Amino acid sequence: MIAFHDVASGIKSLALESHLPVIAHISDSSLDEIKGGADTVLGALLGAVDTLMMPSFTLKCMIIPQAGPVDNALNYGSGNENNSLAEFFTPRLPSDSLMGVAAERLRLMPEAVRSNHPLLSFAGIGVDAAIKTQTLNNPLSPLQALGDLGASILLFGVDQSANFSIHLAEKLAGRKQFIRWALTPAGVLECPGFPGCNHGFNQASRLTEPVSRQMLIGTSTIKVIPLLPMVQILQQKILKDPEFLLCDRSDCDFCTAIRTSLS
């Protein structure tokens, strides 16, 4: 098993600056070989930086309506069974298990704060101002806010498909965004600005390599990518190549709708 000391010295070698925020994505499988798991990794990260944010998304609150705008990558009326299982969003609702154990442990820390977007909330330490920028119309703004402060993305045992901030580059390049709906105690809320698909995001690896740095902890690759330089590189690439980062799955409604929007 990998001990706290090894995780901490590994993170130290990435030369994070303590005053610059980190947006982390941490795989559950990486935690299996670390003594203390998520708490060890979070402790090591919070020993290195003052500001840490992770996604605490709750797509289990999503509702599929009977009808809605066209070209929205949604099969309206198809969700009746899932709609009945949808949960009401409240700030205390646990994040989806897909977000990983570490994201949920971070959310549960006594000093952590969480935004109140019913589908795409973020949680973290020292991120009060960033999460206050988030609105139903602008779910990605906490990423921009931390990027403006010099944030880096930290991918811990995950590839670029987990790098949610790539959606910010897509949005800034003018790529089509979507509308989804969420169940809340105040009723069903429309959530515009919903990003598309992440299955093509590993196309970002080569272009972002020059601004990235990485090391190994156990068998997990830890990669650090400064957010704004990454977003600028990818935004420029999308403007030149409008299908960049889209996936090639023939059944992907998001990427099909985006390709249609280009023609």
Of 11 and 197, the one with the shorter C-beta distance to Zn ion is 197
End-to-end Cα distance, the chain: 53
Of 125 and 197, the one with the shorter C-beta distance to Zn ion is 197
Min separation Cβ 255 and Zn ion, Å: 3
Taking CB under 5 A as the criterion, the residue among 2, 31, 247, 258 binding Zn ion is: 247
Q: Give the DSSP letter string of 34-85.
A: BTTHHHHHHHHHHHH-S-EEEE---GGGEE--SS--SSSS--TTTTHHHHHH
Q: How many CB atoms lie within 10 A of CB 89?
A: 22
Of 231 and 255, the one with the shorter C-beta distance to Zn ion is 255
- Backbone φ and ψ for 159, nearest 5 degrees, come out as -95, -170
DSSP label at residue 2:
B
Of 106 and 197, the one with the shorter C-beta distance to Zn ion is 197
Of 41 and 166, the one with the shorter C-beta distance to Zn ion is 166
- State the Cα angle at 52 between 212 and 197, rounded to 5°: 60
Residue type, 195: P
Of 5 and 249, the one with the shorter C-beta distance to Zn ion is 249
Min separation Cβ 165 and Zn ion, Å: 17
Site membership for Zn ion, residue 86 (CB under 5 A): no
Helix (H) or strand (E) holding 105: helix 101-108
Min separation Cβ 256 and Zn ion, Å: 8
Site membership for Zn ion, residue 255 (CB under 5 A): yes
Site membership for Zn ion, residue 252 (CB under 5 A): yes
Min separation Cβ 131 and Zn ion, Å: 28
Site membership for Zn ion, residue 258 (CB under 5 A): no
Show the site string, 109-148: x = touches Zn ion by CB under 5 A, - = not.
----------------------------------------
Note whether 56 and 123 are within 8 A (CB): yes
Of 230 and 247, the one with the shorter C-beta distance to Zn ion is 247
Size of the site for Zn ion (CB under 5 A): 5
Min separation Cβ 174 and Zn ion, Å: 18
Note whether 224 and 16 are within 8 A (CB): yes
Q: Rounded to whole angstroms, how far apart are CA atoms 53 and 22?
A: 6
Q: Rounded to whole angstroms, how far apart are CA atoms 220 and 158?
A: 8
Of 31 and 252, the one with the shorter C-beta distance to Zn ion is 252
Show the site string, 144-183: x = touches Zn ion by CB under 5 A, - = not.
----------------------------------------
**Cα 164 to chain centroid, rounded:** 3
Min separation Cβ 132 and Zn ion, Å: 31
Nearest to 196 by CA among 225, 239, 161, 224: 161
**Cα 125 to chain centroid, rounded:** 16
Show the site string, 181-220: x = touches Zn ion by CB under 5 A, - = not.
----------------x-x---------------------
Helix (H) or strand (E) holding 151: none
Binding residues for Zn ion, per CB under 5 A?
Answer: 197, 199, 247, 252, 255
